[in-house]
Amino acid sequence: MERPFAWKTSRRSITLERPLVMGILNVTPDSFSDGGRYAVVDDALKHAETMIADGADIIDVGGESTRPGSDRIPLADEIGRVLPVIGAIAKRFDIPISIDTSRSEVARSAADAGAEIVNDISGLRFDEKIAAVAAGEGTGLVLMHSRGDFGSMHSQPPVDDILAEVVADLRRAIAAATSYGVSAEQIVLDVGIGFGKTPDQNLELIAKLDKLVQEFHDHPLLVGTSRKSFIGKILDNAPADRRLAGSLATAAIALWNGARILRVHDVSETVETLRIVSAVRASMV
Ligand code: 7PJ
């Protein structure tokens, strides 16, 4: 029996009775415009508006790329990129905003500017004080599984039993969050597709997601497969802009296997996919 959940953030309680779509909003310097701050914020607002119209439930704002080969950017640059965008979205729309960061200073500023969820791809490994921010501000907290440090995240030697490793590491992350006073209702877990896993292990985690749902029955699961390279690998090395069908297939399977929140680039297509999966699911009873 699947339990309906609610996710406690600093601004509301988000119901998880139906699957939610988290729309990805990357805020990186715009190489096509003159790079002015106004252009960046304006583009981000338009993108957010489109995703909301398409049915996004949460907007995930990120200023630092964690893709393979990316370098860390200075803290001030990360804050400078995301803060104006978060402020502008929070002022214009009543939609939960999450900040994709693994730095507590960014998390705190973002929360002050209106972000109500902190999405930490390091699961508190890079900066444990993220948990202090989540506890103090009452934000939602996504603890994602990853391996290695920022530079070595995508080149980790594979482990034998990825499921066991994810379970053990997420348990540790929950314990760390709890020790700072973060409550269970604030915490959402994520297997971290593409972070320190082989392509086959990414597939295995999606296939066996139901085991993690059972294991962590107190916490909703978020999954992000959108346009990731393991999809391209199966599809004859399709580039990121040819991975939509693959992304939708994995979103459908993740939902079927118990994921509650899907983090995606293509919101309208994902919303339609999830509606169909939910309809089939509902006909089982
Ligand atoms: C994820 C993320 C993910 C969560 C990124 C990309 C890489 N946050 N941030 N889960 N991936 N929670 O989007 O390709 O899978 S950045």
- Cβ-contact 162, 151 below 8 angstroms: no
Separation of CA 276 and ligand 1 centre (Å): 24
Query: Which residue's CA is the nearest one to ligand 1's atom 2?
Result: 121
pLDDT at 171 over 90: yes
> pLDDT digits over 57-67, tens only?
999 999 998 88
Question: Ligand 1 centroid to 284 CA: how many Å?
Answer: 31
Q: Of the residues 8, 197, 260, 263, which is catalytic?
A: 263
Nearest CA to ligand 1 atom 9: 121
Task: Spell out where the chain has E strands.
Answer: 6-8, 13-15, 20-26, 58-62, 97-100, 117-120, 140-144, 187-190, 221-223, 261-264
pLDDT number for residue 31: 46
Instruction: Kindly report the pTM of this predicted structure.
Output: 0.96
- Write out pLDDT tens, residues 97-156: 999 999 999 999 999 999 999 999 999 999 999 999 999 999 999 999 999 888 888 888
**pLDDT over 50 at 212, yes or no:** yes
- pLDDT tens digits for range 234-250: 999 999 999 999 999 99
Q: Rounded to the nearest 5 degrees, what angle is found at the Cα of 117, between the Cα atoms of 116 and 123?
A: 155
Measured CA to CA, the distance from residue 34 to residue 196 in angstroms comes to 36
pLDDT band at 158 (very low <50, low <70, confident <90, very high): confident
pLDDT above 50 for 73: yes
Does the pLDDT of residue 253 top 70, yes or no? yes
Q: For 219-232, write each residue's pLDDT tens digit.
A: 999 999 999 999 99
Look up 72 and say whether it is catalytic.
no
**Does the structure show a pLDDT above 50 at 33?**
no
Q: Decide if pLDDT at 276 tops 50.
A: yes
Which whole number is the average pLDDT over 25-43?
Answer: 72
> 34 vs 86, which has greater pLDDT?
86
For 268-283, what is the mean pLDDT?
Answer: 98
Give the mean pLDDT of the chain. 94
Residues 227, 251: contact at Cβ < 8 Å?
no
Ligand 1 pocket mutation, candidates 190, 201, 264, criterion most atoms within 8 A of CB: 190
Catalytic pick among 103, 108, 228, 260: 228
Query: What is the share, in percent, of the chain residues with pLDDT greater than 70?
Result: 95
Task: Give me the pLDDT at residue 1, please.
Answer: 44
Q: Per-residue pLDDT averaged across 259-272, rounded?
A: 98
